[in-house]
């Protein structure tokens, strides 16, 4: 009996370990640990998105997450990278309104994080009054796929410039403008970027005004109308000398839909830290937004912006928080599986005892049948050995099963008396 009970307990222990192992495997599949490294696809080298990504990189590093930054040709390539699951990009930047919805499957937005102005700089002794002044001019609009290239295409400014000069960007485009190889350049980036500040302060270079900017926002819903106030660049010298109407779009931070929720919360924290302050075109709290008019919004990001970090996220480091979440999930899963088993175990135990007693009763029945069918001394000795074995086995029953014990003892005594009666004539003989 003890051997069988020991086997039963061993099987129970093995079953419990199997449940724990299965629970961990399931959790690792459906609630995996967050990755320690993610890759962001930004834009052209030294472009508008790269400095933003570097700020995210520093913030994520504080939580032990490495953000690798890789340049691209702009929004078009970023979308292609994020939707191609053969590639390992999880985060990317994109301009609003430049996407084809069929190319964004599996991508969600963490919100719009900034205005992205299209700065149109030109060299001329006279001020160009409007967008029409760009017609027929040589304009560096950047490589295909870049947001400013799409902007130029939307306004039909991409036809009159040789391809080599048209694709120039960054420092090369600025150099070409100063050397007279192009008449104008389109630059994207924040007001505070040093390269843009340099162009805004250069007395030989002018910033194009868009007096019909509001009309363009109605024709092209992806555009925004911003105003660069007079004197904001240099208040003392009143640069610029008057308000300048600017066309802009918004920048969205996109991630793959299957990115770990804890990483999304970390990115949400980084976005708020980097973008929630005021700027020349917006007030405090404008960004990041809880909506995105161009891309489907991440529910995790929206929840983070609305409610902030969870209680444990506020007071514990990122990785400890993650392990606590997984530990709670494991406990819940084990309890979910274990509690029904705890209810079943008494029934299994009762069945085991009844089976054990039933087995002894079956052996006693066989003894009874054999006693009634034989008088051979050798057979009676075998029956006696079996009867003694059943007697020893009955004494192993736990005290709580006394009723079964006395039932067995009564039957054993009856068979023992029958055995003695069978053996008595042989003794007298």
What is the pLDDT confidence band of residue 400, given thresholds at 50, 70 and 90? confident
Pick the closest to residue 80 from 57, 105, 108, 97 (CA basis): 105
Mean pLDDT for 123-150 is: 86
Q: For residue 164, what pLDDT is reported?
A: 67
Q: Which residues contact 190 (CB under 8 A, 6 or more apart)?
A: 48, 51, 114, 196, 279
Question: How crowded is residue 283: how many other Cβ atoms within 10 Å of its Cβ?
Answer: 9
Mean pLDDT for 350-373 is: 86
What is the pLDDT confidence band of residue 331, given thresholds at 50, 70 and 90? low
What is the pLDDT confidence band of residue 1, given thresholds at 50, 70 and 90? very low
pLDDT in tens, 27-77: 556 556 788 999 999 988 877 788 899 999 999 999 889 999 999 988 888
Map residue 253 onto helix, strand or coil: strand
Of residues 33 and 226, more confidence is placed in 226
Question: How crowded is residue 161: how many other Cβ atoms within 10 Å of its Cβ?
Answer: 21
What is the pLDDT confidence band of residue 315, given thresholds at 50, 70 and 90? low
Q: What is the largest CA-CA distance in the chain?
A: 146
Most confident listed range (1-15, 190-204, 310-324, 361-375): 190-204
Check if the beta carbon of residue 35 is closer than 8 Å to that of residue 60: no
What is the pLDDT confidence band of residue 316, given thresholds at 50, 70 and 90? low
Q: For residue 184, what pLDDT is reported?
A: 94
Instruction: Name the residue ranges covered by the structural domains of the chain.
Output: 2-10+338-428, 37-309
DSSP 35: P
Of residues 5 and 146, more confidence is placed in 146
Of residues 35 and 424, more confidence is placed in 35
Question: Percent of the chain scored above 90 by pLDDT?
Answer: 38
Q: Could you identify the residue written with the tokens 């309890």?
A: 335
Mean pLDDT for 397-425 is: 81
37-41/91-95 β-pairing: parallel
Q: For residue 2, what pLDDT is reported?
A: 44
* Angle made by CA atoms 353, 356, 360, in degrees to the nearest 5: 140
Token code pair at residue 110:
């963490």
Of residues 417 and 309, more confidence is placed in 417
Check if the beta carbon of residue 44 is closer than 8 Å to that of residue 29: no
Q: Report the distance separating Cα 302 and Cα 291, nearest Å.
A: 8
Q: For residue 207, what pLDDT is reported?
A: 96
Q: Report the distance separating Cα 198 and Cα 121, nearest Å.
A: 11
Q: For residue 370, what pLDDT is reported?
A: 84
Tell me the torsion sign for CA atoms 364, 366, 369, 371.
negative
Residue 273 in this model has a pLDDT that exceeds 90: yes
What is the pLDDT confidence band of residue 399, given thresholds at 50, 70 and 90? confident
Question: What is the residue-averaged pLDDT of the chain?
Answer: 83
Residue 98 in this model has a pLDDT that exceeds 60: no
The b-or-e profile of 311-325 (16+ CB within 10 A means b, else e) is eebeeeebeebbeeb
- Report phi then psi at 64, rounded to 5: 80, 15
Residue 425 in this model has a pLDDT that exceeds 70: no
pLDDT in tens, 236-257: 999 999 999 999 999 999 999 9
Map residue 112 onto helix, strand or coil: strand
- Provide the CATH number for the domain formed by 37-309 in this structure: 3.40.190.290
Q: Report the distance separating Cα 90 and Cα 69, nearest Å.
A: 11
């Amino acid at each position: 009996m003890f051997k069988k009970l020991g086997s039963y307990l061993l099987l129970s222990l093995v079953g419990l370990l199997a449940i724990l192992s299965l629970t961990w495997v399931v959790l690792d599949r459906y609630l995996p640990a967050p990755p320690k490294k993610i890759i962001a696809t930004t834009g052209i080298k030294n472009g508008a998105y790269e400095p933003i990504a570097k700020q995210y990189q520093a913030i994520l590093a504080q939580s032990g997450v490495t953000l690798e930054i890789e340049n691209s040709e702009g929004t078009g390539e970023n979308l292609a990278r994020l939707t191609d699951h053969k590639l390992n990009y999880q985060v990317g930047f994109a301009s609003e309104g430049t996407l084809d919805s069929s190319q964004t499957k599996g991508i969600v937005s963490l919100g719009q994080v900034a205005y992205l102005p299209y700065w149109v700089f030109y060299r001329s002794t006279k001020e160009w009054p409007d967008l029409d002044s760009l017609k027929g001019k040589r304009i560096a609009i950047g490589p295909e796929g870049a947001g400013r290239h799409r902007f130029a295409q939307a306004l039909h400014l991409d036809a009159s410039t040789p391809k080599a000069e048209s694709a120039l960007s960054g420092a090369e485009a600025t150099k070409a403008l100063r050397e007279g190889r192009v008449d104008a350049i389109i630059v994207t980036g924040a007001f505070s970027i040093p390269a843009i500040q340099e162009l805004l302060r250069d007395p030989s270079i002018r910033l194009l005004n868009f007096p019909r900017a509001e009309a363009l926002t109605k024709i092209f819903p992806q555009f925004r109308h911003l105003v660069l106030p007079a004197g904001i660049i240099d208040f003392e010298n009143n640069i610029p000398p008057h308000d300048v109407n600017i066309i802009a779009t918004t920048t969205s931070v996109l991630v793959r839909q299957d990115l770990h929720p804890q990483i999304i919360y970390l990115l949400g924290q980084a976005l708020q830290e980097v973008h929630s302050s005021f700027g020349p075109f917006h007030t405090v709290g404008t960004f990041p937004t809880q909506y995105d008019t161009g891309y489907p919004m991440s529910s995790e990001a929206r929840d983070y912006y609305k409610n902030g970090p969870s209680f444990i996220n506020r007071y514990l480091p990122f990785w400890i928080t993650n392990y606590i979440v997984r530990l709670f999930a494991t406990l819940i899963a084990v309890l979910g599986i274990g509690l029904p088993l705890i209810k079943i175990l008494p029934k299994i135990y009762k069945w085991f005892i009844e089976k054990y007693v039933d087995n002894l009763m079956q052996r006693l029945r066989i003894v009874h049948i054999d006693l009634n069918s034989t008088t051979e001394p050798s057979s009676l000795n075998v029956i006696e050995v079996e009867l003694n074995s059943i007697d020893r086995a009955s004494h192993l029953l736990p005290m709580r099963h006394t009723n079964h014990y006395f039932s067995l003892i009564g039957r054993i005594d009856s068979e023992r008396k029958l055995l003695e009666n069978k053996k008595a004539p042989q003794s007298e003989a």
